[in-house]
Chain A
Amino acid sequence: MLDSVIVSGIITILIGVGGMFAYFWISNYVLDNVLFPARGERAGVNINRANMIRPWLFVFPAAFALGLYLVVPVFYSLWLSLTSGVAADGGWYRNYSEIFQNQTFRVALLNNMLWVLVVPAASTFFGLLAAQLTDRLSWGNIAKSLIFMPMAISFVGASLIWSFVYHPDIEIGVVNAIRGLFGADEGVTLITGRITDSFLLMVVLIWIQTGFAMVILSAALRGVPEETIEAAIIDGANPFQIFFKIKVPQIMPTILVVWTTITILVLKVYDIVAAMGSQYRNLEILPTQMMRYFDSGNYGFATAISVVIMVLVLPVMVWNIRQARAEVR
């Protein structure tokens, strides 16, 4: 049975890759030789027509997949959130009004806000710190590599790693062992469902994302023109002034990009809470709550929550698009 899965995987790769190349080759061939052949009396017109259509041949598969898997679902979800579940019996707003009255939803929303406030700020801070510290260090690259490593680890794996750090036994968990060094006799259970326990879960994501922030900010720091720094030194600035008054203002746009990128990620993060705090309602965030409704088949509430997440993401999305358009021009 597993053999058949592997075989079907290989076949899918072959069909997918071979099929794509075949599609492009055949469609281009048909365009150039059958529909608008570049010969005969209309050769010139035909070449122009073919060249007008060709971009769409190249773009079509991607556009189709994006449309079907991302664009259509956005509107379909919006539609479902207004028409299914409790909204089906009249009152398009009822999925929304009911989830907003729900205590656990409000807790989840509050938690999401906490995550969005803390994780991007802390990750960017530690990333900037690590980038600056390792900048001119002889072993800086090794240090960077080790701080960057958690990026490769899955959220579930990272949750396991940190659950072990938080282990209640004083002989097993590092946190409790450190408490032991300061005189505690017994370990304590760290995650017990208090609302502040969310911070312990945030640590996991900060641990993962700091490497990302560090890599990007360290490239930005390298890009700061030497002359500005030399000028500051000649004017008598100390290393801290150079960092905060010369370097940081010049890499501010990059800091913003890092901050927003991590913010987007935080809004969507699901795995950490699912792995470490799924039994505590107080630790829930919007994505975990959305999945709970999704699993129980309550599509009205599930889509309503996903639309709420989308609304939270929207400002960043608009900002990104404006940046990109400015670049293309």
Chain B
Amino acid sequence: MDNIAGQKSGLGLATHITTLLLVIIWIVPTLGLLLTSLRDQDAISQTGWWMALQGSPQNISVEVPTDAQVLDGDLWRLETNVFDTEWAQENLPADVLDRRRVAAFGASRLRGPNLDPGETVETRGGVTVTVEPDGTLVASSPEPFDDALTLPMALVAPPQLTVQNYAEVLTDMDAEERAEARSVGQRLDEMLFSDEALFGPFINTMTVAIPATVIPIVIAAFAAYALAWMDFPGRGFLIAVVVGLLVVPLQLAFVPLTIIHGWIGIEKSFLGIWLAHTGFGLPLAVYLLRNYMVGLPRDIIENAKVDGATDFQIFVKIILPLSFPALASFAIFQFLWTWNDLLVASVFLPADTESTVMTRFVVTNLLGSRGGEWHILAAAAFVMIAVPLVVFFAMQRFLVRGLLAGSVK
């Protein structure tokens, strides 16, 4: 009986493993950039983000006193722990002392910590040195050690996650510059609205996305009601046109709309982009809402008509409240689309930081001039995708419903 649908089969374990693998492949890229955005600039270039939670090694020149050397046969032998010395207690950072872990060591300051712990290195004069991961150091030499040994080491510091990168990308100032700006009396809002800061584009994105989401909903809802519940000649044709317009490439509209907007003087302006997003979002809005409204029970609407309600009253008091799920679906789509859009913003908004949106700011300003600075890019990426992710996880139900209504019949 173990072959019945819904029962576990021999494939059960394989299913779990394959799914897990798929999920890991799907989230690792995002997770990587998220961790990177929370890491110190130096740590990013030293170790991979997958080491972020293991702590990052810090390069420190460690002094080891040689007082404890003993003569063992014909060699002078020193055995000590680099973390227990007086020098270490005074000079090493507290978190490194807590962690007590050596990631690498070396014998010459020039070459730095180039050896894995546990290896043995031989230096001038027959001196050999071994450092274990826990800090145990064994050194031997044919001659007595005169001075303290100085060895470059990479000591593991516990993971340090920081939001400094976010502060830097939002204000375009690093910690020092912010402290300095504060000391000369600059207020927080002045820092946020400085020229190359990401905060301005963040506000602009919001300014573009919210009206561009709200306005088409209202326009589309009225039209969808007419297309669903009013009988008039040409209705089928209009529905066909809306379906056709769903797939029209926006590129076709750019040159004509630039010219038309130029005539009425709203070229490269917020008003222009709101109108453009409204126009471009309408086919999906009308289509989704009409499909949903058609499915509402006929009785309710006919009863209301018999009771003397006008179409306007039916629409406002019955259809709109009942269509809330479809309205929410479209609102999420349109919001994600307008928030994430680069193309329409490149055409309808000016390029200067004052009025540009985040996507464009990242592509033209950050990728170009700061292409290698991943602490900045990673933080910028997450400032950009934070709001859509919140919307996504909060409203996933409506998003799925909208997708299904939009493409499956």
Interface residues of A (CB under 8 A from B): 1-2, 5-6, 8-9, 12-13, 16-17, 20-21, 24-25, 28, 32, 52, 54-56, 58-59, 61-63, 65-66, 68-74, 76-77, 80, 126, 129-130, 133-134, 136-137, 140, 143, 145-157, 160-162, 164-165, 167, 169, 171-172, 174, 177, 207, 210, 212, 215-216, 219-220, 226, 229-230, 233, 239, 242, 254, 257-258, 261, 264, 267-268, 270-271, 274-275, 287, 290-291, 294, 299, 302-303, 305-307, 309-310, 313, 316-317, 320-321, 323-325, 327-328
Chosen A-B contacts, 22 in total, with CB atoms closer than 8 Å, are: A2-B200, A12-B271, A16-B274, A58-B223, A58-B315, A61-B219, A66-B245, A69-B279, A73-B256, A133-B19, A150-B30, A160-B362, A171-B46, A172-B48, A174-B28, A174-B32, A233-B3, A257-B407, A270-B342, A287-B343, A313-B249, A317-B244
Considering only residues 311-347 of chain B, those with a C-beta below 8 Å from chain A are 311-312, 315, 336, 339-343, 346-347
Main secondary structure of the interface of A (DSSP, over half): helix
Q: Which residues of B contact A261 (CB under 8 A)?
A: 407
Residue of A nearest to B359 (CB): A156
Among A2, A149, A275, A307, point to the contact of B203 (Cβ < 8 A): A2
Residues of B within 8 A of A268 (CB): 249-251
Contacts of B282 in A (CB 8 A): 62, 65-66, 69-70
A12 and B50 alpha carbons, distance in the complex (Å): 46
Q: State the majority secondary structure of interface residues on B.
A: helix
Q: For chain B residues 197-218, which have a beta carbon within 8 Å of chain A? A: 200, 203-204, 207, 210-211, 214-215, 218
A164 touches B36 (CB 8 A): yes
Measured between C-beta atoms, what is the minimum distance from A46 to chain B in Å?
A: 14
Please tell me if the beta carbons of A310 and B220 are within 8 angstroms of each other in the complex. Answer: no
The answer to whether B215 and A216 touch across the interface, beta carbons within 8 angstroms, is no
Q: Does B236 contact A (CB under 8 A)?
A: yes
Q: Which B residues are closer than 8 A to A by beta carbons? A: 3-6, 9, 11, 15-16, 18-20, 22-23, 26-30, 32-33, 36, 44-50, 193, 200, 203-204, 207, 210-211, 214-215, 218-220, 222-223, 225-227, 230-232, 235-236, 238-257, 259-260, 270-271, 274-276, 278-280, 282-283, 286, 310-312, 315, 336, 339-343, 346-347, 354-355, 359, 362-363, 367, 374, 377-378, 380-381, 384-385, 388-389, 391-393, 396, 399-400, 403-404, 407-409
Of the residues B15, B255, B393, contact of A80 by C-beta under 8 Å: B255
List 12 additional contacts besides A130-B19, A143-B23, A160-B380; criterion CB under 8 Å.
A59-B227, A69-B275, A69-B282, A70-B253, A134-B19, A143-B19, A149-B26, A164-B32, A294-B254, A302-B254, A325-B240, A328-B239
Closest chain-A Cβ to B91's Cβ sits at a distance in Å of 28
Q: Do residues A212 and B403 form an inter-chain contact, with CB atoms below 8 A?
A: yes
How distant is A99 from chain B, measured CB to nearest CB, in Å? 14
Q: Are B342 and A146 in contact, with the CB atoms below 8 A?
A: no
